[in-house]
Structures are given as structure tokens and as C-alpha cells.
Structure 1
Amino acid sequence: MAQPPNLKRRSLPLSDWRSGLPEDLLESIGQRLASGHDAASFRSACSPWRAAVPFATFGPLLLLSFDPNSDRVGFYCVPEKKVLSKTLSDVRGKVACGSSCGWLVLMDEAASMTLLNPFAGARAPRVELPLAGKHVEAASSSEHVSRVHGRWVLHPTNDYGDTDAAGRAIELEDMRDLFFREIVLSAPPDATGRECMAMSMLGCSTEAAFCRVGVDSAWTLLDTKLEFSMGSIVHCQDKFLAIDCTGEISVCSSNAADATPTATLLPSLSPPTGLCHCSYLESNGELHIVGAMVSTFHETQSFTYSSVIYKCNIHDRTPEWSKVRDIGDQTLFVSKHFNESSSGTSVSKYKENKIYMSEPLYGDPYDLVHRLEIVDIATGASEVKPVQEKMQGSEALGWIRPNLWKL
């Protein structure tokens, strides 16, 4: 029998089948992704796949406290009741001092600052911020410190006014109290065509620090004109709002050309009477305040509280707070440790017209069972829920929304 002729394999060009899928099919697949991890993998394929999964459809995760001697970081997904663990080598030897625009803000013992995007692939993108100088330290604290071999050293003063010349090295967990307490960004540092500004709260200070990310080599100090130390920073309508512990607000801005910051007080805008445990956030271009109204019963030595929301447009001629009873398809995410909170429209797997608080406004601080508080905005009623067991023993630092791609 005759042998069949030898068939040689021909080298044919491989078609890029990924970009050839219909747009409606990609969107249909994207809507069925179960988690942010799946979304990150899906979006890494190509541009059409990234376009099929809008950023706003994925809700934020709770960033959990992490060991600076490790490179493992946990994120708690509330709808899935699951802890997602990631290996991020850049967190080793650092402490978190904020989460903004989907990026983590990290600081080491030398007060070197790093922005890290933990959800943008195996090699998480990072951006370096200017090192804290002596002027930043002086604005942050009344303590005498010096820089020795790359470390900051505290020189305490005794009752006789004598300063300890040798001093002691400042530990990593104390760096936020003496330097950058929290940093907020105006935009993601990888956003195309948008300048990214960073503003920081400095220890217990009325001064703030500004820098243009990727442009400035040093921080610029700004006197916010507040009477008391800053408690919150919010970026709203292209302005930074510095808010002190009494609720007084200073509108801070910086000229893009020379980065000369300015500050203007809003003396007419006082917080609503009787509101406590306040958190501030931007939603739909307006400043919102979330807090609690407390009712005390002296006969039984007990109290009850209800969570309420107010909003205002800071650029009105006479801005004033108005009570909010319905935010439609919006969801608010509020944290106590990281002051920057956020909002979202039709956030996947989260309930609308609700506030998700990283922990209850009132509770036992020594209770090792972590709980989440969900507030119904229409009624003010609160529901406190224990979280998944793997999160117990960890502290929820704040919300971070996965920024899975470059804008």
C-alpha cells in the first residue's frame, strides 16, 4: 500500500481572538465575574476586555491591618464574606497612612512615602512621593527630632528642660503621629491627562502638606487657617477641604503652574447641631457629612443613636447643610481609621441607599469580634453584623476601591 505523502505543518499567523469577540458578549461575561480578582484577570487580556468592565461596577474592599515584617496583605470582601490575600513586597517595613483613588499610601521609618496600586497585576505599580523634610516634621509635632543614619530619632525633654542628646529611634507604628497622618489624592497618579495632587494631614497640626505627584521633589506647607488640628481631608470639586475636629472647613487649592497653595475658611458653614462621630465624603460633587444623633436616657443610664446624613454645595454663595433622606441608587462607604470615605452608584452586590461603616459607631473597643454596621438612610436604622471568621483579630483600616486599570 502506498504511503501517504508527508504533511508538513504550515506556520499560520495566529489571529487575536480576544479583540474579535462581540462587545455585547464581553459585557455579558463581565457582568458575571464573581470577584475583583476575576475582574483583574479579565481586564488584563486587552483593551476591549478592559472597556467591557466599568470601574464603578466593583465595590470597595476593607483593607485589613498587616504585619510590617510580612509581605501579605488581606482585603475583606463584604458581599462575598471572604478575605482576599495578596503578596505585596512593597508593604514590608511600611505602615499604611491612607487609601485614595484605589491606591495605598505607605510610609517607612525614614518617612519615605510610596503610592502602591495593589490590584493592577502581579507587579503592583508604585509611585514615590517626596521624602519628609525637617520642615514637615517641625509642622507635625512639637517634639524635638533629628535624622540619624536614615532614621528619625526622638529627643525628649525632661522636667528641667534638658534634651536627651542620644534620644531613641522612632518606631514604625509611631510615624503617623509625628509625620504624615493621612494622605489624600486628587486623582489616580496614572490618570492620563490629569495632574495628581497629594495633600496630607500632619500629626496634630493645623498645617497641611501639598505636592504634585511625579513633579515636586519636596512638600509645600500650607497654613489652613483652622483653629484646631485637622481631622479630615476631602477632595471635592477640584478642591481639597481641610476639616478640623470641630467641623470648621478650609478650602485649599494649589495653582498648577507654581504649586503655590492657598486656603480660605468657610466661617458660615458650621456642622449640624448635636451631630457627633462625623465622617466626611464627596458624592455627586457635594460634600456630605455622616454622623450620629444620640438620645440619652438618664433613668436607665442608657442611650440610643441614629445615623443621619447632611450635604451641602461648598461653592454656593451661602453654603448650608441640608438633611438627606434618600440617595437613590447611591451607596456610601465610611471608615473611622482612614478618614477618606467614598460613594458609588449601583455598586455591584451592595445595597442601595445604605451606608456601610467599617465598624460600629459605638461598641466595645476591646471586643475581638469584628463587626460591620449597615445603615438604612431612609429610616436611620442600623444593623450590626459580625464579619467572616478569617477577619477576626484583624483591624479594618479603611475602604479601598480596586483601581484595576490606568484611566
Structure 2
Amino acid sequence: MPEPDWSSGLPSEHLEDIGKLLASGTDAALFRSVCSPWRDAVPFAPSFAPVLLLPFGPGSDRVTLYSVVEGKAFSRPLPDDDAARGNKVPCGLSCGWLALMDASAAVTLLNPFTGARVELPPADERVAAASSMFVSKEDGRWVLHPVNDYGNAAAGCTITLEEMRQFFFLEIVLSAPPDADGRGCVAMAVLPSSTEVAFCRVGVDSAWTLLETYLECSVDSVVHCQGRFLAIDCTGEISICSNIATGGTPTTTPMPSLSAPEELCHRSYLESNGELYVVGVLVDVFRWAQRFDYSSVVYRCNLQDPSPAWTRVNDAGDLTLFVSNHFRHSFGGTSVSRLNRNTIYFSDPLYLYGVNQYRSDHCLEIADIATGTWEVKPFHQKVQGLKALGGIRPNLWRGRGM
């Protein structure tokens, strides 16, 4: 029999079957041993390892991703109508899906690997008001009305597409991937300079619901952990958001006793195996030499403990952490093939001091959890100069919208 043609990757029905297995919790390690034609045709398929999403401008009809495992870039087409409309900005990467917002504040969840889409409720004046923004919609576009010294709204100016995140959704995080019917999960949004968050039950709610977190400072990041959302402010204070997916009355419970270690800078939070992790750096400043050194550190906490507390992690075993610098949402896993274990992969170097040779080219920062030391790995020459928006795990379950 003639050899199958693998040039376009696996048949779509097989990709969907594998995606369903992964979505159900099947270990990706089961799919690591594959033939070389498959590996060449679908760069992310052998290990389902995380890839980095590279920036794309208005009107782009493709998204470009960079495979750290393969050391090369590949692209996926955007749906035809999205390509025709263009003009969308990313406002989140979560559970293998990309959140896109247009100039009208309409939000679409897109699976860049399958083209599946799910529509979220559009933002409205209430969402902007939660961030103390006075806006109105005129001819389909949002207009900002600055407040003058007398407390009155001044003449408005149109909000550009590039400014939309500053007024509506800084980042959208999912509790889980949408199911085949475009439902089955909750989306929670970080709002600009606000102690409130916004959430919706995907495929069920027709509008966003605002929720006060009762944190002293503005919410900086959101993590879904043990069936609940955690709203975390810019100082590391945490508020637990409960009763959201069930449709009951949402509640928030601040945890002032669980502040992040004070010495940490550049904190990122993520969930892995039911535990909450915080990734940060310790900085040593040498003023006399006009330089500084830093090392990466990791702490974890089990929120189910009667008295939860942060514990320093010196050995994470097989765990690999992927930390995004553009978006706050990060993730970890133990079934990531051909990536270093007990390691943190930063989508961008935290500091460029001391690595000036890479200043004009994009690169990864790879940190060893056990030692805190790091190394810089430049991208392939064809994609140098592009800063990644963040890491994303392939989710091949097609879902709805194909």
C-alpha cells in the first residue's frame, strides 16, 4: 500500500479524538512516541508541549506560534470572517484558547489550533465604570469622556483599538476549555485599576457580572484553583471568589494572612496539581558597581490547609512552569515532553541587564528552580525581534464554531 500523505498533519477526526482525550485528563506522554512525518507536519503534536504566541497586527489573517521544543515557528489561519473584519486585540490566553476583543468591546474566544470560536458577552458602560472610566458608545465606537476639575465630563475622544484593554478587559481567564456546545466554563476578567472583577458563564450569561473583591489595591491577576477563582492584587493579597459556576450568589473572601513573600519582585501566579504557586525573583543591588543580580524563586501553597502558608520550593520534581510576562496567566505541568523539568520558562527575559547582546532580538529566559540561576535562549533568526504574548498549551478539541 502507498505511504500515507502526512504533509497536512493528522486527519481532522483523529486530532479531535486526541484533543478529547487530553481534555479529559489523559496524560500527553501517551502520545509522545510518533512517527517523524507526523512530527514534521504538526510541530506541536508529538508532545502537546506549550508554544509561544507571537504578536499579530490588525487585519492579520494568521496567528504565528513558536515551538520551543522544535525551535521553529508555524502559523495557523484565523477564521475567514475574523480575517475580513480584522482589527482585534488579544486580551487573554487561557486553557489553550485566545481571547480577542474588537473596537466595539465584543469578545471572541478562539482556539488557534482548530479555529473553533465561542462568543462572550460584550463589555458595556458598567464594566468601564468599575475602573472609574466615563465612556459612551457613539456610532458603534467607544468614546472616553475625561472628567475636568469641576467633576464634569469633558468633550469625548474616540478610544482606539490599541487602547481597548486599558478601558475594558486587561485579561480574561477561563476556568476550563469550553465544551463542544460552547459552554461548561466560566470566564473571569481583570479590569483596569479596579478592585472589582467581571465574570460570565460562557454560553449561558448574556452580560458580565461585576464582583467586588474587597482587596485594598487593584486586582492584578486571576487564577482558577480548586474550583474557585482567586483574585490577586498588585501587592499579593488574595481574595477567593466562590459560588460562580453554580449560578448561586457569588461570594468573596479576602485572605489577608496569605500575603506573598515581601522580597519577591515580578510575581506571577499559577495553579498546578491543585496547589497555588507564585514565581518571582530575588534582586541584589550593587550600587557601587552600578549593577544588580537576580535569581528566580518559587513558593507554593495548599489553600485547603487549615492555615495556608507559602512554602519555598527548591525541588519541583518533574514540574515545568511556563510564565507569561505580557499576560499574567501562567501554567505548569508534568507531561511536557522535551522540556527541562524543575524549570521555569519565561516568555521574555525579566531583565535585559547583562544580556545586551540579545536586546534587539527576542529570547526566552530559562531558570533552574533548584539553583535559581537562569540562561537566555534566543529565538530562531526568522522570528527574532518579536516579543511573545505568552505561552499557550495546544487544545485540539474542535468544539463549536467549525
Q: TM-score, normalised by structure 2?
A: 0.85
2:110 aligned with 1:103: no
Q: Which of 97, 116, 128 pairs up with 1:125?
A: 116
Q: Secondary structure at the match of 1:180?
A: coil
Cα pair distance change 1:386/1:143, threshold 3 Å:
same
Q: Deviations over 1:235-294 (max 9, x none)?
A: 000010100010000001234443532110111111113111111000110000000011
Cα pair distance change 1:323/1:194, threshold 3 Å:
farther
What are the within-5 Å matches in structure 2 for residues 255-270 of structure 1? Answer: 255-270=244-259
Q: Is the 8 A contact 1:212 1:259 kept in 2?
A: no
TM-superposed CA distance for 1:48, in Å, is: 6.4
Structure 1 Cα separation of the partners of residues 18 and 233 of structure 2: 44
TM-superposed CA distance for 1:190, in Å, is: 1.4
Q: What does residue 149 of structure 1 align with?
A: 139
Q: What does residue 73 of structure 2 align with?
A: 83
What amino acid maps onto 1:390 in structure 2?
K
2:370 aligned with 1:385: no
Cα pair distance change 1:384/1:229, threshold 3 Å:
same
Give the total of aligned pairs: 368
Q: Which of 290, 300, 312 pairs up with 1:311?
A: 300
Q: Secondary structure at the match of 2:271?
A: strand
TM-superposed CA distance for 1:143, in Å, is: 3.1
Structure 1 Cα separation of the partners of residues 91 and 20 of structure 2: 31
Cα pair distance change 1:224/1:161, threshold 3 Å:
closer
Q: What does residue 10 of structure 1 align with?
A: none
Q: Is the 8 A contact 1:55 1:404 kept in 2?
A: no
TM-superposed CA distance for 1:164, in Å, is: 3.3
Structure 1 Cα separation of the partners of residues 379 and 391 of structure 2: 15
Structure 2 Cα separation of the partners of residues 394 and 47 of structure 1: 31
TM-superposed CA distance for 1:396, in Å, is: 0.7
Q: What does residue 360 of structure 2 align with?
A: 368
Q: TM-score, normalised by structure 1?
A: 0.84
Task: Indicate the larger mover: 185-194 or 344-353.
Answer: 185-194
Q: What does residue 112 of structure 1 align with?
A: 106
Cα pair distance change 1:48/1:268, threshold 3 Å:
closer
2:56 aligned with 1:66: yes
Q: Deviations over 1:375-404 (max 9, x none)?
A: 111111101111112222322111111101
Cα pair distance change 1:137/1:49, threshold 3 Å:
closer
What amino acid maps onto 2:53 in structure 1?
L
Q: Which of 177, 188, 211 pairs up with 2:177?
A: 188
Q: Which structure 1 residue ranges, 5 or more long, are not aligned?
A: 1-16, 18-28
What amino acid maps onto 1:321 in structure 2?
W
Q: What does residue 404 of structure 1 align with?
A: 396
Structure 2 Cα separation of the partners of residues 135 and 335 of structure 1: 29
2:386 aligned with 1:394: yes
Q: Secondary structure at the match of 1:44?
A: helix
What amino acid maps onto 1:117 in structure 2?
N
TM-superposed CA distance for 1:94, in Å, is: 0.5
Alignment root-mean-square deviation, CA: 2.6
TM-superposed CA distance for 1:215, in Å, is: 0.3
Q: What does residue 13 of structure 2 align with?
A: 44
Q: Which of 256, 273, 277 pairs up with 2:262?
A: 273
TM-superposed CA distance for 1:212, in Å, is: 0.4
What amino acid maps onto 2:110 in structure 1?
L
Structure 2 Cα separation of the partners of residues 232 and 329 of structure 1: 26
TM-superposed CA distance for 1:361, in Å, is: 1.1
What amino acid maps onto 2:153 in structure 1?
T
Q: Which structure 2 residue ranges, 5 or more long, are not aligned?
A: 29-46
Cα pair distance change 1:360/1:81, threshold 3 Å:
same
Q: Which of 257, 282, 287 pairs up with 2:271?
A: 282
Q: Secondary structure at the match of 1:216?
A: coil
Q: What does residue 127 of structure 2 align with?
A: 136
Q: Is the 8 A contact 1:338 1:397 kept in 2?
A: yes
What amino acid maps onto 1:45 in structure 2?
H
Structure 1 Cα separation of the partners of residues 390 and 305 of structure 2: 31
Structure 2 Cα separation of the partners of residues 392 and 404 of structure 1: 27
TM-superposed CA distance for 1:159, in Å, is: 4.9
> Percent of counterpart pairs with the same letter?
58
What amino acid maps onto 2:76 in structure 1?
K
Structure 2 Cα separation of the partners of residues 361 and 49 of structure 1: 35
TM-superposed CA distance for 1:192, in Å, is: 8.0
Structure 2 Cα separation of the partners of residues 45 and 247 of structure 1: 43
What amino acid maps onto 2:122 in structure 1?
L
Q: Which of 217, 220, 223 pairs up with 1:228?
A: 217
Structure 2 Cα separation of the partners of residues 360 and 86 of structure 1: 26
TM-superposed CA distance for 1:338, in Å, is: 0.9
Q: Which of 341, 348, 351 pairs up with 2:340?
A: 351
TM-superposed CA distance for 1:314, in Å, is: 1.4
Cα pair distance change 1:130/1:55, threshold 3 Å:
farther
Cα pair distance change 1:253/1:317, threshold 3 Å:
same
Structure 2 Cα separation of the partners of residues 268 and 354 of structure 1: 28
